[in-house]
Structure 1
Amino acid sequence: MTEPAGLSTREAAERLGVKPETVYAYVSRGLLTSRRAAGGRGSTFDAQEVDALARRHRRPASDATPTTTGTPGAPGVGAIRTGITFIDKGRYYFRGVDATALAQRYGYEEAAEWLWTGVLRPGTRFTAPRETLSAARRAVGALPAHSGPVDRLRVAAIAAAAADPLRFDLSPEAVLGSARALIPTLVDALPPAGGTEAGDPDAEEGALARRLWSRLTDRSPDDASLRALDTALVLLIDHDLAASTLAVRVAASARAHPYAVVSAGLGTLEGPLHGAASGLAHRFLTDVLQRGSAAPVVADQLRTGRRVPGLGHRLYPGEDPRAQALFRLLDGIPAAAPALGAARDVVETTARHVPLHANVDLALAVLSVSAGMPAEAGETVFAVARTAGWIAHALEEYEEHPLRMRPVGHYDGPKPPQPLPLPLPPP
């Protein structure tokens, strides 16, 4: 028996509802397999593989989940289907559950475990393996004293990867095991703000929020302040396809192991237009407190052509729901009153001319300023929190066809053929 003839390029394009050029783009991304047609003319495609791709990218309208990252149901990088976060009408949801309600009820480790597995385990705690933590601490300790928090987190992630011989196992069970070890390693490898952990029973085994607090400030926390930090961690776990999350999915598409996936996210997060936003808000708020009013600080900011940090978010026409949730908690902390008042002064001052609302960076700044944390503390909180979301996205991407994150470049350089370049004459 002879093998059945495959689909021609035109027939495959018709089944997929795309142009013939797009079919070859799918081949370059690894989404389709092409075979040379009989006689050597053209390519053929397996009908079952084409139909499977069509089903993945063209769901019925009743089953289509809205997305904030492109046209629902469209194939390719412009519309990455995800079941993790949905943003709609000023609210955001983790797997269909209101994220702010989840943060009010559960801690970071419980929320992360539920996001990964769909099972809520009260009292979940993440503990770093001793050998892994020791390697990460040695690596972080070798960095210069002026190293930033993301520098330390990236080095800790690399050291943790080197200590894990099973890191290349991408089965869900292995990835989750790596994640449960990596997140506490990132936190516990950071140097304590007070310089020592002696006598602290929660140094490596208590709730992650308490351990992170000791890395951000040498002040003793009260229950309300710890609750605010833990809530911030949950609120920041994921926020759809932000730049760092997209980088994570690209790495996972190439089948990078989970430590490398997190490293990709941390590298993108360090950009000044992403993770550093909370630090700008912290410094701005500190200036407002020192000068006693937001008006001159806002004026100076605008005079230099810079936007006021901590205000506005392109996904929320009103106030960021993450900021709302944190402000409610901070309102019950006496030590946060001055910074909270300064933040409200900033919002009211700018609202005279521009209808911008507070975003989560301003709320994080209130927390960090009131707790005596450095300006980089918000970036650290963001990075640790988002690691759980990055792992969730990696788990999704590992189930997709590999190397699908391969956009087609549009060459606009010199038209070939060009002559070989000439070397510079000797001096």
Structure 2
Amino acid sequence: MAQQGDENYLTTAEVARRLNVKPATIYAYVSRGQLTSVRARGSRGSLFAAAEVERLASRSVEHPGVVERIETELSLLQGDELYYRGHPVRELATTQTFESVAELLWTGDLAPSEPFAAPPELVQLARSAMAVAPPGARMVDLLRIAVAVLGAADPLRFDLTPASITAASRQLLAALAEALPGATNDGGIGGAPADGGIRDAPVGGGFATKLWPKLSARPAQARTLEAALILLADHGLAASTIAARVAASARANLYSVVSAGLGALDGHYHGAATTLAYQFLDRALDDPVKALSDELRSGQSLPGFGHRIYQHSDPRAEVLFGLLEGEPVMDRVHDITAKVNSFPNSDLALAAMMHAYDLHPDAGEALFALARIVGWTGHALEEYAEPGLRFRALGNYTGPAVT
């Protein structure tokens, strides 16, 4: 600890250790006015008043401050393009496996990765948990139930070290995919398929190969499914990701972080948008003009078109449409887009994939949820490295006057 005048100061490295953050985060705090740096005498480094650092370190839920900017190294949305840690998602979706992209988001390393795996007893536990859902429950409802049960069964869930978190996420994803109703990877049945039949799944393969028979009875198109999973793995600070980061800031375990994300994803403005696009495209397959007319008359935004961030095109949609070109459904997609003064987004592209390969009507939301678990895990890892409980909005009270 250095001393200038009557005040004690800490170096950047000392502040980083005290706050348990990266040095780059320290300078972000400076730019936001949360810390003040001074030039060290006789040195090119910066110093920080120890008292000010302690005030920042001691922030609690009583602090009225709000985090206005969240630093993330995971994804960048810029110029109608999406990047994961600097890699264009267009390229990742067509050259990498889902597992490799997950490792990229979690660790920063892009390298071949082994398929995710889970012990048989955890798969059976997840399957048993899903079995308690009432008839008509959606696939994403089954995922939500299973995540809670698998979390309760993990005695080490509060180990928040990066190695433990990534290992738990790999196992969680594998257990969820294998436990969903449909054919298992060994040809057995993990619950009754919606059509009552028996479907065979290819032996071996990665996450997309194992997931396919849970979504469709058609011959596997695992490469297209893998591309969709990669494209949906992360997308900046979406509502569900904010929810997941808030939970991680409170030091919730990974299963609770994923549950928080799933809760936000359930809204019709977020995860359900895929189902709305699927239903719209289903009507448009019979009569595109009437389907468009009905939607326009409702006064609601057209499902599957436009985006809050992208201005001219959604790169995720363009990749999926490219992989689906030649499928009959794409003729109808082209007909519709030619009549709309907007661009199609990933929801319409996912809906087109669902129709092209006869995926279950609720498969889009489940696919979205499973893919985004990768992103939520990456954001949880980032949040665990930040000061805890740093999200605290200042409420503007508008109730009755105090008497």
Global fold match (TM > 0.5): yes
Alignment partner of 1:155 out of 136, 145, 152? 145
Distance 1:52 1:17, change over 3 A: farther
CA shift for structure 1 position 78: 2.0
* Aligned-pair CA distance for 1:219: 1.4
Once residues 83 and 314 of structure 1 are traced to their aligned partners in structure 2, the CA distance between those partners, rounded to angstroms, is: 21
Q: SS of the counterpart of 2:82?
A: strand
The CA deviation at 1:6 is 8.7
The 8 Å contact of residues 132 and 164 in structure 1, kept in 2 or not, is answered as no
- 1:191-230 correspondence runs (5 A): 191-192=181-182, 193=193, 200=201, 202=203, 205-221=204-220, 225-230=221-226
| Number of matched pairs | 349
Establish whether residue 248 from structure 1 lines up as the match of residue 244 from structure 2: yes
Q: TM-score, normalised by structure 2?
A: 0.81
Alignment of 1:281-360 (within 5 A): 281-291=277-287, 294-331=288-325, 334=326, 336-337=327-328, 339-351=329-341, 356-360=342-346
Match of 2:158 in 1: 168
Contact 1:103 1:234 in 2 (8 A): yes
Matches within 5 A, 1:348-387: 348-351=338-341, 356-387=342-373
**Structure 2 residue 390 is the aligned partner of structure 1 residue 390:** no
Q: Give, in angstroms, the shift of residue 118 of structure 1.
A: 2.1
Name the counterpart of 1:264: 260
- Are the equivalent residues in 1 in contact too, given 2:199–2:213 (CA < 8 A)? no
The answer to whether the 8 Å contact 2:8/2:50 transfers is no
User: 1:315 and 1:198 mapped to 2: Cα distance?
Assistant: 40
Deviations 1:2-33 (A, max 9, x none): xx7799xxxxxxx96889xx99xxxxxxxxxx
- Tell which structure's C-alpha radius of gyration is larger: 1
**What is the CA distance between 1:237 and its match in structure 2?**
0.6
Which SS does the other structure have where 1:77 is aligned? coil
Q: TM-score, structure 1 length as denominator?
A: 0.77
Identity %: 41
Q: Distance in 2 between matches of 1:277 and 1:79?
A: 26
Worse-matched range after superposition: 191-200 or 264-273: 191-200
Unpaired stretches in structure 2, ≥5 consecutive residues: 1-5, 10-28, 36-47, 57-64, 183-192
- Taking the aligned partners of 2:217 and 2:30, their CA distance within structure 1 comes to 59
Shift in Å at residue 206 of structure 1? Answer: 2.7
Question: CA-to-partner distance for each residue in 1:117-142, whole Å, 9 max, x for gaps?
Answer: 22233252001222221111101011
| Conserved 8 A contact 1:368-1:374 | yes
Tell me the alpha carbon deviations over residues 316-342 of structure 1, each in whole angstroms, 9 at most, x when there is no partner: 1111000001111111xx4x22x1111
Q: Structure 1's 196 and 207: CA in aligned 2 closer, same or farther, altered over 3 A? A: farther
Provide the residue aligned with 1:48 in structure 2.
Answer: 50
Give the partner amino acid of 2:310. Answer: Y
Query: Structure 1 residues 108, 16: CA separation in 2 closer, same or farther (over 3 Å shift)?
Result: closer
Q: Does 1:102 align with 2:92?
A: yes
Quote how far apart the aligned CAs of 1:100 are: 1.3
> Does the 8 A contact of 1:248 with 1:262 survive in 2?
yes
Q: Tell me, in whole angstroms, the C-alpha distance in 1 between the residues paired with 2:360 and 2:200.
A: 24
8 Å CA contact 2:240, 2:265 repeated in 1: yes
